[in-house]
Amino acid sequence: GCLTAGSGALGADVWFELAGVSGTVELSTCAAGGFDTAIVVYRTSCGGAPIACSDDDALCPANPVASTVEFSATCDERYLVRVAGVGASAGVGTLVVRQGGSACNSCPADLSRDGTIDGTDLAALLAAWGSAAADISGDGTVDGVDLSVMLAAWGPCQPSG
């Protein structure tokens, strides 16, 4: 199966945690630099059985040994994502995450997700200034709009609904 990726064991891996999403999630290494990858997704802990797994995606035009996997995510669930090289394959690559559902965070300025918008969140926002990494407003860039949204929501997050 995918955990042994056909002829080679998985190695040279990197793990990610994905949370706060719902609906269909697609993960892809199609942009990886030409090395053989596999993607394995677990619910909450790596000790359980994988809920999705992919090795080799013939639809990746530049790298058919890259991987693409889709799974259905639910709010309040955390997912562990393993991106691994197959056999001795290793290299630098990109994991692309596409979400077909909706975000679950009812308090988007709470970047640390601790229930309070405070200095920790402000530090994260400022560290991501000019990038898209902590974009609150959804315009693709962390800027003054995001800072305004954060400051207007400062303090404990309000329950949604």
Per-residue pLDDT of the chain (161 residues; tens, 9 = 90+): 466 545 568 878 888 888 777 788 888 888 766 778 888 999 875 567 889 988 888 778 777 888 888 999 887 788 888 888 887 777 777 888 887 766 676 788 999 888 899 999 999 999 999 998 888 887 889 999 999 999 999 999 876 54
Say if residues 26 and 69 touch (Cβ distance below 8 Å): yes
Q: What is the pLDDT of residue 145?
A: 93
What pTM was estimated for this model as a whole? 0.61
140: left (phi over 0), alpha (psi -120 to 50) or beta: left
Q: What is the pLDDT of residue 37?
A: 84
Which residue bears the tokens 């997050």? 157
Phi first, then psi: what are they for 13, rounded to 5°?
-100, 160
Phi first, then psi: what are they for 103, rounded to 5°?
-70, 150
Q: What is the pLDDT of residue 126?
A: 96
Measure Cα distances from 105 to 24, 46, 159 in Å.
16, 24, 11
